[in-house]
Amino acid sequence: MAAAPAGPAVSFAVTKTDGGATAARAGTLTTRHGAVETPAALVCTRGGLPRHLSVDTLRGLGPGPGAVRGCHVCGLDLLTRADQGAHIAAAGGLHGYTGLDAEVLVVDPRDPVSHGLGWKQQGAAAVRVHTALGNLKLTPERYTALLAAMRPDLFVCLASDCDGAEARHINDKKKARDRVAALTTASLALAGGSPLAGAAGALVPVHGGRDGEMRAECAAWAEEVAHGGDYGGLVVGFALAGFGLGEDPADRAGLIARAVAPLSAAKLRYLVGLEGPMQVLDAIAGGVDLFDAEYAATLSEHGYAAVWPLEPPAGGAGAGQGGAAGPEKKRRKVSEREAAERTVSAADGADGLKINLWAAAHRRSGEPLVPGCGCYTCTHHSRAYVHHLLAVGEMNAEVLLEIHNTYHYMAFFAAVRAAIAGGRFGEYWEWFRELATA
């Protein structure tokens, strides 16, 4: 019998920082199902699998820049039968149950999209949630039993939901914070005494909703818990909870900064609920490491393809003037194509970052979604073909779009990691902001 590997099952290490210019950093999350280089995005799942991608298709996106290393699983999404825990355990845990046995799986009680609907605090000992089984009383015991059956690589501890719409009704901040603390510590203590202790890592939620002061207080408490030492070395990082739930985008960077400041730099910071590359870059600049890739699936469902450039033009960000004739000419050609796309933007929602394949402008286009993209869709099919599939209601339209959009989103994160590694994240961020607001 092989000896159990020494040390914690899951660990995180920061490998590069932005030298103080921003809080951006690169790191490595190491698990028994491989490593994830951060910043990174987890592909989102429904019932344990990506929306339109089979396991084989998902793996077909790699091993290059489009490779997927991890998936986000909403634990409650899988509660479709009363004995689901036993069912998943019998299949060898979540990795065996989903067939995603080479991917890093992160279980979160929150679904990036539907979260907030139906969460209701029930004292300091449980939350009520809507699931396929109906309205369910979720206690730390029940949640931990489900996690122990799933054996994910990482999980977010159960906490009450004192953010989003509900936060507005919580006047007593201390009471709200104590509720989060009670559920989280109960959830951690139970996990620490379960088989999860030798197999998974825990993320301590940092709540506080739209209140900066409460964010800072919740983060200080989470930091204390992370170093409490009573939880079998389970705590790998923090989940910055309650973002993407209607907060004013102008306040987000400040809220993230308040939440991140008290947290030890050596631990992973995870955040779900952001929409698209600009919001993600702002959060990376604030020191966040791990995200969800729901945006790629949402684009696909609405007939959009991500088309933003992954790298600044040759010569570096901001090097626009006085370049050689070659790159200048190439740039002009690209901007003409972009300009043509933007002429239909008022009607179809396209902008400099995405195109709408429903638009009649693509009906006769023999071009791939993104010229030069290495994904299956772009190397085999044209915009006209995807437009046609959408027009006739063929589900392969979503499949082909999700292949491209997932690949593109993963490649975007790879480009960001390269920018951090190369000490040029600030330039990249600035370049992208200009691109996104053009």
Residues that bind Zn ion (CB under 5 A): 373, 375, 378, 404
Which of residues 97 and 358 has its CB atom nearest to Zn ion in the complex?
358
Instruction: Give CA separation, 289 vs 65, 226, 254, in Å.
Output: 18, 17, 17
Tell me the C-alpha distance between 92 and 95, whole Å.
7
The distance of closest approach from Cβ of residue 385 to Zn ion in the complex, given in angstroms and rounded to an integer, is: 13
Which of residues 210 and 408 has its CB atom nearest to Zn ion in the complex?
408
Which of residues 110 and 354 has its CB atom nearest to Zn ion in the complex?
354
The distance of closest approach from Cβ of residue 306 to Zn ion in the complex, given in angstroms and rounded to an integer, is: 9
Give the count of alpha carbons within 13 A of 333, CB side only: 7
Burial class (CB in 10 A: 0-12, 13-18, 19+), 420: buried
Which of residues 373 and 390 has its CB atom nearest to Zn ion in the complex?
373
The tokens of 168 are what?
A: 């507005």
Greatest alpha-carbon pair distance for the chain in Å reads 68
The distance of closest approach from Cβ of residue 368 to Zn ion in the complex, given in angstroms and rounded to an integer, is: 6
Q: Which of 291, 295, 274 is nearest to 405 (CA)?
A: 295
Residue 154, beta-bridge partner list: 106, 201
Which of residues 147 and 373 has its CB atom nearest to Zn ion in the complex?
373
Place of tokens 């149950």: 97
Backbone angles phi, psi at 205, to 5 degrees: -70, 140
The distance of closest approach from Cβ of residue 70 to Zn ion in the complex, given in angstroms and rounded to an integer, is: 21
Tell me the C-alpha distance between 415 and 425, whole Å.
10
The distance of closest approach from Cβ of residue 83 to Zn ion in the complex, given in angstroms and rounded to an integer, is: 41
Which of residues 118 and 308 has its CB atom nearest to Zn ion in the complex?
308
Which of residues 30 and 377 has its CB atom nearest to Zn ion in the complex?
377
The distance of closest approach from Cβ of residue 149 to Zn ion in the complex, given in angstroms and rounded to an integer, is: 37
Instruction: Give CA separation, 266 vs 237, 238, 279, 385, 403, in Å.
Output: 8, 11, 23, 47, 34
Which of residues 285 and 373 has its CB atom nearest to Zn ion in the complex?
373
* Pairing outcome for strands 49-50 and 40-46: antiparallel
The distance of closest approach from Cβ of residue 408 to Zn ion in the complex, given in angstroms and rounded to an integer, is: 6
Do the beta carbons of residue 300 and residue 44 sit within 8 Å? no
Which of residues 52 and 404 has its CB atom nearest to Zn ion in the complex?
404
String of b and e for 54-66 (b: at least 16 CB within 10 Å)?
Answer: eeeebebbeeebb
Which of residues 317 and 411 has its CB atom nearest to Zn ion in the complex?
411
The tokens of 333 are what?
A: 């050609």
Query: Terminus-to-terminus CA distance in the chain, angstroms?
Result: 60
Burial class (CB in 10 A: 0-12, 13-18, 19+), 18: buried
Q: Which of 315, 304, 428 is nearest to 370 (CA)?
A: 304
The distance of closest approach from Cβ of residue 59 to Zn ion in the complex, given in angstroms and rounded to an integer, is: 16
The distance of closest approach from Cβ of residue 351 to Zn ion in the complex, given in angstroms and rounded to an integer, is: 18
The distance of closest approach from Cβ of residue 310 to Zn ion in the complex, given in angstroms and rounded to an integer, is: 11
